[in-house]
């Protein structure tokens, strides 16, 4: 499984648009093959920051997702609305059943 985390901090005047675009993006992404989960959350300590958490079945599914035209358009739109850079981290994860 591939785990992706990322965030964007909106400017006060762009927050509503960032959230709208983010919700559209995660809902569309959930329909893609290999998407196990895809969500956006509002940071309770920094309310202008949106945090993304995604799980993909494998690297190929994630690379396909990155290649989707709508995904690229989303990233460009979000970058234009952001107050600061949008970090993304990608992990290759193996689930541990029980400790």
Query: What is the pLDDT, as a whole number, of residue 32?
Result: 98
Residue with tokens 């985390």: 5
Residues 6 or more apart whose Cβ sits within 8 Å of residue 55: 1, 2, 3, 4, 35, 36, 37, 38
The topology under which CATH files domain 2-90 is Alpha-Beta Plaits (3.30.70)
What burial class does residue 1 get, using C-beta atoms within 10 Å of its C-beta: 0-12 exposed, 13-18 middle, 19+ buried? middle
**pLDDT (mean) for 18-31:** 98
Q: How many CB atoms lie within 10 A of CB 62?
A: 20
List the domain boundaries for the chain: 2-90
The pLDDT score that the predictor gives to residue 95 is 85
Angle at 83 between CA 77 and CA 86, to 5 degrees: 65
pLDDT, average across residues 32-61: 98
Collapsing DSSP states into helix, strand and coil, what is residue 64? helix
Report the chain's mean pLDDT, rounded to a whole number. Answer: 96
What would the pLDDT profile of 70-91 be if each residue is shown by its tens digit? 999 999 999 999 998 888 999 9
């Amino acid at each position: 499984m591939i785990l992706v985390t990322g965030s964007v901090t909106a400017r006060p005047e762009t927050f509503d648009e960032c959230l709208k675009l983010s919700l559209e993006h995660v809902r569309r992404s959930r329909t893609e093959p290999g998407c196990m989960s895809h969500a956006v959350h509002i940071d309770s300590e920094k309310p202008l920051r949106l945090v993304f958490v995604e799980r993909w079945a494998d690297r190929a599914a994630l690379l396909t997702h990155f290649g989707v035209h709508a995904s690229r358009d989303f990233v460009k739109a979000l970058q234009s609305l952001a107050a600061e850079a949008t970090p993304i981290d990608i992990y290759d994860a193996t689930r541990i059943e029980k400790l």
